[in-house]
Amino acid sequence: MERVHQAFLNILRSALAGQPLEGSPELSPEEWARLMELARQHHLLPLVFETVHSLPELKNAPFLPPVRLQVRQQIIAQAQKSWDFLNLSRRLQAAGIPTLVVKGIICRNLYPLPDHRTSSDEDLLIPAGAFGRCHQLLTDCGMTTTESPEGLADAYEIPYRKKDGPLYIELHRHLFPPESEAYGDLNRFFEGVFDRAVEETIDGTPVRTMCPTDHLFYLVCHAFKHFLHSGFGIRQVCDIVMYANVHGSGIDWAAVLDHCREIRADRFAAAVFEIGRNHLVFDPERAHYPRQWREISVDEGPMLEDLLAGGVYGSASTSRSHSSSITLDAVAAGKQGRKTGNAVLLSLFPPAKKLEGRYPYLKDRPWLLPAAWVSRMVRYHRESRSEGGNRGAEALKIGNQRVELLREYGIIK
């Protein structure tokens, strides 16, 4: 592992433990700049900065003042978002509207400095039939959505943004898009989740959320979903291992393993926990991590290398983002009994159904599919010219490499 990545993980481990960094990483100014950029890509800049900003070697670093300002702005914005969200949660509870808070503030509350673990949004899950009342209360509280009336009726998630503040919410009818061929079937594991819900208290506000077994499995599934796309980043590993450390005694680990095996994610999940154990703060004893999990033989190295390169949710580059069509088609092919070798061809020439979101005219005129293929290729070519290099070729290379990674962890054959 290269020095910058190792130093990044060491710093992150200290931040998660709420402890001072043991010794200096002894990086060059150029390496420090790369490490800070890595922290930005993984949306962990406040956590990293808080741990290293007082090191003597950084006293006169030219990048420190602008980074300090950026960190301060992120922390202030996060504190405001958390405050607004808890106020909104109290309004929902007072109105008797059933919602479950997922990820977001639940995960942040596990960290030594919660507002240093920033979130771009908060996720709320609602049961069938609750949307109308929930939508009305959100709009009464100053939240607006750009979703069309048709989208309000049909979308599995609806985005809302506060008119006069940074709060952004995604309201979920389902935890995963039901139409997805690769992971839409994950929703079946969360039927009855409201009946199993528990209550946590955050800054004096009671918050309803999923029970520990459901929530840990959901965090694994959420990381798994992004792994099937273009990557999921080290921050989700942090969330998973922090959650397991705190709530491990209440987790039905056997049930989580059974579910993971059913979706071919058992070796994936085991690799996540190995990353946590070997490089972060995962404590198998504290988490009540059972023998049947520890006996899963897996090399976490390739996954760690992939997620560090990919940034948060695999968004480090346009090429990596575009590569997701190859991996998703490979997974869908495996579920449908098709050969995964056709994934590259399908990613270049997908069916009309998969392109309707970007090219709405295909809904009524599917015979225009060849025109959509051409438009798509032209767009990729323009992106390649604007960003430099052959992005299409690079996306194919990354996609093929990541298909092999899916095979390595037993997700596809």
Mean pLDDT of 226-248: 94
Of 117-131, 151-165, 387-401, the poorest mean pLDDT is in 387-401
Q: Which pLDDT score, from 0 to 100, does residue 319 have?
A: 74
- What tens digit of pLDDT does each residue of 37-94 get? 999 999 999 999 999 999 998 988 888 999 999 999 999 999 999 999 999 999 999 9
Residue with tokens 């839409």: 184
The angle formed by the CA atoms of residues 11, 244 and 87, to the nearest 5 degrees, is 85
User: Cα 179 from chain centroid?
Assistant: 19
- What tens digit of pLDDT does each residue of 150-198 get? 778 888 899 999 988 899 999 999 999 998 888 889 999 999 999 999 9
- Strand order of the β-sheet with 168-172 is 143-144, 157-162, 168-172, 122-125, 100-102, 205-209, 198-202
User: Which has the higher per-residue pLDDT, 344 or 225?
Assistant: 225
Does residue 222 carry a pLDDT above 60? yes
Asked whether the beta carbons of 284 and 277 are under 8 A apart, the reply is yes
**What is the band of 235 on the pLDDT scale with cuts at 50, 70, 90?**
very high
Distance CA 161, CA 169 (A): 6
> Could you state, in order of their start, the residue ranges of all structural domains in the chain?
3-62, 83-210, 216-308, 317-408
Distance CA 391, CA 380 (A): 7
Mean pLDDT of 373-380: 65
Q: Which pLDDT score, from 0 to 100, does residue 390 have?
A: 47
Closest CA to 12 of 44, 37, 40, 41: 44
Q: Write the single-letter amino acid at 250.
A: G
Could you name the CATH architecture of 83-210? Answer: 2-Layer Sandwich (3.30)
- What tens digit of pLDDT does each residue of 243-272 get? 999 999 999 999 999 999 999 999 999 999
Distance CA 380, CA 382 (A): 5
Rounded mean pLDDT of the chain?
88
Mean pLDDT of 350-362: 70
Distance CA 373, CA 350 (A): 8
Mean pLDDT of 372-380: 66
User: pTM, whole model, 2 decimals?
Assistant: 0.88
Does residue 364 carry a pLDDT above 90? no
Q: Which pLDDT score, from 0 to 100, does residue 386 have?
A: 54
Phi, psi of 96 (to 5 degrees): 70, 25
